[in-house]
Each structure stands twice: as C-alpha cells, then as structure tokens.
Amino acid sequence: MAEGIVSLVLGKLSDAVIKEVLLLHGVGKQVERLSRELSWIQSFLKDADMKKIINEGEKHWVKEVRDIAYDIEDVIDNAIFLKVPENSLARGCSRIVGAAKRMWRKCKKLPDLHNLADEMNEILARIREINDSRERYGINSLGEGSGAQPRLPIRPPVLPKIDDPNVVGFDHDRDNIVNLLLDTSIKRRAVISIVGPGGLGKTTLARKVYNSNDVKRQFDVCIWVTISQEFKLMDILRKIIEQVEPLPPNDVEGGEEYLLTKLYRTLNGEKYTLEDHLRPNSHDPQASTKPQPKKYLLVLDDMWRNDLWIKIGEVLPDAGIGSRVMVTTRIQNIIDDAESYKLPYLTEKPSLELLLKKALPNRDLSKRFPDELYEVGKQFAKKCGGLPLALLVLGGLLSKKPANYVAWSKMLETMNWGTDGRDCTEIMATSYDDLPFVLKSCFMYFAVFLEDYVLYAPNLLMMWVAEGFIPAEESRTFEDTAESFLEELVQRSLVQVLQRSDVDDSITHCRIHDLLRELAILKAKEDNFLTICSNPDNWKSSAKARRVAVHYSGCSELMEHANPNLHSLVCFEDTMPNCSRQRLLKVLHYRAPSVDFECFHGLNQLRYCEFIGKLSSNRISFESFIRGLKFVETLDFYRLEDHGDLHDDIWNVKTLRHVMLNFEEYTAGPSSSADLKNLQTLCFVKSRESWNAQLPKLPNLRYLAIKVENSFSWDIMAKLLDTLNHLTDLYLRGSEVPQTIVEMQRFPFYQHLQSLCLQEESSSPNNKLSLEVGMFPIHVTVLQLYGLQFKEDPLPVLEKLRSLRSLVLDKEENRKMSCSDGGFQQLHQLWFRSLTNLEEWEIKAGAMPILNEVNLHFCHKLRVPLGLQYLSNLKQLKILSCNELNEHKDEIRNICEHVIFV
C-alpha cells in the first residue's frame, strides 16, 4: 500500500501545474531531489510487496516511507493553497489600490512560504535518515532502484461482466424453508431463523426463498429489511412501513411510539395517521369497518441482537392467517420461539462446482478438462471448508491466474494454512495481497461506508477520482478507468453487484460483504489509510487521520480535534461539523436537516462535495462557498433542497466534471461564456436566455438533464444538442416538444445516444406527433416518453428499435395498442403509466420474447391484455390502481402461473 502512496505523490510532483506552483515558491531543487529519492525508494517497495512476508524491521521502514509520502503530499497541497488567488477585486478599484492589495497579500504569505521551504528540507533530511537505516533492516537485499520515474500500472483487463454465480448446493435447503413458510397447518404467526457463520450464504438463500414465485403468491405483502450490528429502530420501522404503504415525510415527527403503533395498524389492515396519534379520541371513519389483516412475510436480514425483536415482535399482528417472519443470523436461539434452521456447509461436490464456476467463468464445465487441474481444484475447495464466500473469493483470485496445473499448483503452495478455512480470513487476506496497489486503495475505501451500505456506484467512482486513486490513461477518462477497477473487484468477488444499468450494463448499485468490510477496516487501520469514528473514544485518533468516516452523531466535537491537514470527511449522521480549519479537505460527504455553509468557509481545495439536507436561510454563506471552489470536480446537490441558482463563478472552474443539482428546482445552467472541456455530467438545469446569443462550450458532455424555458428557442436547443458529440444520456423537459426534437437523426449524437427521456409539460390535443421509423436513435436502449401524444398507436414504430431494453409510456391517449410478432426483441422492462384512455392491449405471439417485468400504473380502463400468456419469460407483473384489471386478478393469475404478481 505504501507503494501506492508514493506513486500518487510522484504523480503530483510530475504534474506540470504543480511543478509551476512549487517553482514559484522557490523549492524547485528540493522537488527534483524528492522525486529522485522517492523513485528510488519505490523500487524497494515493489520488491517488498513481491516478497509478501516482511519482517518487523521492514514493516517499520515501510511505515516511515508511507508517513513521509503523506507529509510530502501535505506540503504540495499547502503550496497550492497559498497559490490560489483570492476573490477578484471589486470593479472600479484603481490599479494602484489593486497593486497595493496584492503586495500586502504577498507579504502576508511570506512566513508560510518560508515554512514551506523549511518543511521540504526537513523531509529531505528524514529521507536521508531512513536510507541510512536500510542496512539495519536488511533491506539492501531487496533490489536496486533505477531512479527513473516509475510507469503507472497497466489497468486491469476489461473482462466479461459476469457477476457472482448463485450459491450452488442449497436447493434442498431452499425447498425446506419454503415448505416451512407455506405450512398451512400453522395458522399463527411463525418465525423461522436461518442460522450459520458469516460467509455461509444465509442472505443469498433467504433471497432465493423471498423471490420464489410460490412464496410471493401466498402473501399479501413481502418486506425485506437489513438490520446489521448498529441500527436505529426508527429507521427500521420506516423501512418496514414504507414497503407496505407510502409514509409521509412528517410521520417521523410522531416518534418511536407512533411508528410502532402505525406498524401494527398498517399490517392489521387499518388506517392510522399522525393526526390519529396526536388526537387519539378523534373520530375514525373506518372504526365501524372490520379491518382486513394483511398476510405478511417479514425478512429481518443479518440480526445480531434480540433487542430489536423485543420491540417489534410485540407489535407484529398475529391474525391467525399464516403470517411469517424469517430471520438470518449468526446467533443461535436469537429469538426464543423461532424455529431454527441451521444452514450446513457445502459438501465437496458443490464446493468444487462453485469454485470452478468463478475460477473459469468462460469455460463449459460440462466438458472434460485435464484431470490434474481438477485434482488441484479439489484441494483448493477443501481449503475453503465448504464456505461459499471463501470459495467465491478464492475462485476470483484463481480467475486471474493462468488456467494450468503449474500456475494453480504454485498458488496452492503459497496457501500454507490448514485445511479448515471456515473463517475466511486467510483466503480474503490472500486475495487482498494479490491486488495491484492501485486496487488496494479502492478496496480499502469501502471501509468508509456503513455495514450493509448500498453504494451508488457512479458516486463511488467520482470519489475514487477525487481521492487521486485513479491513474491517467491515454484516450480514456478517469471514470472509465475507475469503472474497470470496480469491475475487477467484482470479478474477484470482493464486491457484490446489486444492480446494473439498462443502458450499458454498467454497475449502478453495489455493496461489500460484512466480512470483507472487516478486512478493509483492518487493512485501512494498518496503513493509516482511514479513521472510523463510531464513538467519542475515536476523537484522539482523528488528530492525525487523513481520512475520517463519521458513523455517530458527535461530528461537531470531533472536528475540533481533527487533523488540520484532513483530506476526506464522510459523515453519515445528521450532525453539523465545522470544517473551516480543514483547508486541505478534498472529499466531503455531509448530511444534516439544515445545511449552513458558514461551516465550510475556505474549503477551496475540494474536489468532491455532496450535501444532503435543506439549505439554511444564510444564502450569502452558500454563495461564498461556491465562489471559493477553485478545483472542484464533482458538485452533488441532488439532495440539497432550496439551493437555487449557483453563482456564475462556478461555471468558470475548468476542473468541473460532474454537476448534479436538485431535480425539483431546475436551476440556471452554465453561463453562455462557459468553456467546460472536462464536464461530463450536467443534470437538472434550465436553459438561459443568454444562450440565444452564445452557446456554452461543453464538448465532452455525456449526461444532460435540462428544462427548456418558454422564453428559449427550440431551434437554439437543437443547435446546442448538435454540438454534443459524446452525449449518451439526454433528459429533455419543456412545453410542446416539437416534431423537430423527436426527429433525432439530424443530430450527430444520434449514433451515441443510449438513453432518451422526453417530458411534455403542457400536453395539448393539437400537438400530436406522427411517428415514423427512424425518428428515434436506432441504438437507444432506454426510452421514456412522458406526456407526448401520438396520432396513432406508437408501439408499431417503437418496437422496431432493435436495442431497446426499457420503455416508459406516460399519459399517452390512444385507446388501443398492439405489439406485433417479432417486436421489441431486446425489451426487458415495460412501464405503462397513466394511460387513462387505454382499453385494449394486444400482444401477438413472438412479441417481447425476453420481457421479464411489466408495470401497469393508473390505467383505469385497461382490460386483461390479449396474449399475456405469450410472455413466457415474464417474471414480475405489477398492477397499481388499474380498476378493470384489479377486478380480474384471479383470471390474470391463471394466465400467468409462472409470474410474481405484485
């Protein structure tokens, strides 16, 4: 890991802009010496990493090198901070006054500049000391350094996107648990507990049971909640209730007692609101109506303590209709009256099958392959002790080695522990040690997040880029390289994929197994990579930390002790830290009910900032914060309410790569003079009238979500789109979307556009479009049409889009629609929303052959679709507020016996 830090610092020292800054400060010679020394040291670190086994002396030496590299990075960042220009002088200020102010600022910085040179000299002296100590530690034997600037590591190969195969060998267990859940002889509410050690596949098995068609059909409502070791009862209650019915935002004001009562009433088929709770004697119009209890299945995944059950077990209704609770846990008898199902370890045959599926993803295992490789595989499988997670991680590691006897045998020789690998520790550590150093930083970064935390992958990649983990590659964006790194961790089974994009199959949501998270935390602690603050006892350890993750509500007090050279702060609690001392902060993720930007004054080094909450009334501080951002790359205000228009200074920041603003506000986009060559994402902005005279320059924009104001010309919008040659995702909203916008073939991005969303704000009967083949981009994979009206049934045209995987039609007014034989060959997901005039939908045999999900919402007149039985691959049919269909649910169930009916 120290090699990665050294490489990161060497990359900074070779950066042309940073070199110029350091030369201006008069430390150019010291920088050259530092580069030579670090390059030489790096060669030793590479050899030490290859040795794997390092003695205590070598470990201490590596730690010293890492600390020096950190200190050099701080010196560089401080130099950049001193070079950042202060806000421009007010207009009308005389040149003499301006010169005087500049001279005064320069004099004010002289002590800092002197300290910078002293710090450089001190670091050089420390390097000489650790070089002198090499002989004491026997490090001379590791190799000799060339002194040349090391080449950046080759990026991990882009492999087929194959996620972890399902755990094999548990079909019998799945059937047993399904039978327990569906046992009609037990009318009372029953609890089934799946018990086993970490990594045995309890959650995977529970998911198989939960998603079973037989199970889904037998319960009125199915609820899944992940508990983890640290949880908040209020959060758990909200998550449970929201899967039964929508929960108004202000319901949290009722507190724990209210949510417990609401949970009981909701599952019992009663209406219960905050008003009922605050005024218990108020008249209930349903009081005279007998409630209809819901038959529910509640899954509590990863339960560690029974205090949660003590709370919610008392309020889960038992109406004698066969409701069930399923728990996954490592703790035997965690619930007294639960029927415990002890999950067995995998036997030899399924263990080998799972290992080889992962190790040889492109090989047909039904065909014979060399016996000697098979025999080595059996020895590997035995090392894992029947633990699926160990088998997947080891298989991921083997997939990076040549598939031959020599390579596998050599790998087996390095696994010098016993045959009982059931704690996973050694296998996971071996897989981590095998990672290239650039991937070790990316893996350790998962320790920042809470246990079982679901990550939005694009934001994770942006954070990696801002942290400096991702090396520059020719003809490739940082984000593309970061994505390949994430895919590499997935292939190694160190990261779990939860969801992929319908657009390009990229990862959208992921997480890490809690055992692997524990490994990431351990390695991060060893390398002084991260400090996790989960209680006040961690305050002192944050005094030297370069990255801090706050997992409790004491962030305000913690920041008083935090390192002034802190580089990253990721806060998961609703709290209010004051970061004004941390002027070198580069990554900031922060949430609070009310966000006061006075606490973030002077953070002009930020590369990534994400805020969740509502902007306080102090808008002056917000504008000052925006104007101070000189190097920001990612500005995520998607969940920051009331932020309003951004100061125009932000559109002059050349480093901007991603800007995501609140989707309910649509603030003004870039100024007409903006030249943002690095900008890739611009979401939820509105057009500016000044664009009529001059369009902003956004040559590398990939994602655009824009609202076209009434005062803006659609012809000008067409010209703007005409300049976006790399656009892949477009969300276009406005009044009376004209025919010319639909005719996409006139624009160059016709060849690149993959996701297209058009939203008509003021639908008019006189603005109906005539669709023709070729009007939409032929390569589009996601198409969402909101409020657009067509003169005829649009499906015969849309079904010819050969790559279309997801289609949404909203507020379309045709009475009859039809899908023909051979239409929608690649469609996976279909949404009909608010098609209030639609009465008949006909599906011909051969249409939509791989469709697996249909959502019909607010289609009140729609009758049972003709040809529904032809959708042989349909897995889920969701019907919401469709009056006619709701009356024929039994008929639909008989037609679609294989479908989960929601």
Question: pLDDT tens digits, residue range 379-428?
Answer: 999 889 899 999 999 999 999 999 888 999 988 888 876 555 456 788 99
List pLDDT tens digits, range 205-256.
Answer: 999 999 888 898 889 899 999 998 888 898 899 999 999 988 887 777 788 8
List, for residues 812-860, the tens digit of each pLDDT value: 889 999 999 999 999 999 999 999 999 999 999 999 999 999 999 999 9
Contact, 30 vs 94, CB < 8 A? Answer: no
The pLDDT tens digits for 660-716 are 999 888 999 999 989 999 999 999 999 998 898 889 999 999 999 999 988 788 888
pLDDT value of residue 142 = 45
Q: What is the pLDDT of residue 733?
A: 92
Radius of gyration over alpha carbons of the chain, in Å?
30
What is the band of 526 on the pLDDT scale with cuts at 50, 70, 90?
confident
List of E strands, 157-231? 190-195, 221-226
Query: What is the fold, at CATH topology level, of the domain defined by 437-523?
Result: Arc Repressor Mutant, subunit A (1.10.10)
Tally of CB atoms within 10 A around 97? 12
Does 512 have pLDDT greater than 50? yes
Provide the angle, in degrees to the nearest 10, between the axes of the packed helices 28-51 and 2-14: 150
pLDDT at 783: 95
The whole-model pTM stands at 0.88
799-814 pLDDT per residue, tens:
999 999 999 999 988 9
pLDDT of residue 154 exceeding 50: no
Percent of the chain whose predicted confidence (pLDDT) is above 70: 80
Q: Work out whether strand 339-342 and strand 455-456 pair parallel, antiparallel, or are unpaired.
A: unpaired
What is the per-residue pLDDT for 465? 95
Residue length, the chain?
Answer: 902
Q: Which numeric CATH code is attached to 171-279+290-342?
A: 3.40.50.300
45-90 pLDDT tens trace: 666 665 555 566 677 777 777 777 777 777 777 776 666 554 433 3
pLDDT given for residue 63 in this prediction: 75
Are the C-beta atoms of residues 603 and 568 closer than 8 Å to each other? no
Q: Which residues contact 474 (CB under 8 A, 6 or more apart)?
A: none
pLDDT at 842: 96
Q: Residue 183: its pLDDT value, please?
A: 93
Q: Tens digits of per-residue pLDDT, 620-649?
A: 999 999 999 989 999 999 999 999 999 999
3-state secondary structure of 229: coil
Residues paired with residue 496 on neighbouring β-strands, in sequence order: 511
Mean pLDDT confidence for 754-776 = 83
Q: Which of 149-163, 465-479, 737-751 has the lowest mean pLDDT?
A: 149-163
Indicate the pLDDT class of residue 265, thresholds 50, 70 and 90. Answer: very high
Q: Strands 876-880, 900-901: parallel, antiparallel or unpaired by DSSP? A: parallel
pLDDT digits (tens, 9 = 90+) for 423-450: 678 899 989 988 988 899 999 999 999 9
Instruction: Enumerate residues 6+ apart whose C-beta is below 8 A from 632.
Output: 606, 607, 608, 609, 650, 653, 655, 656
pLDDT category at 108 given cuts 50, 70, 90 is: very low
- Distance from C-alpha of 38 to C-alpha of 12, rounded to nearest angstrom: 12
Average pLDDT of 532-554?
A: 74
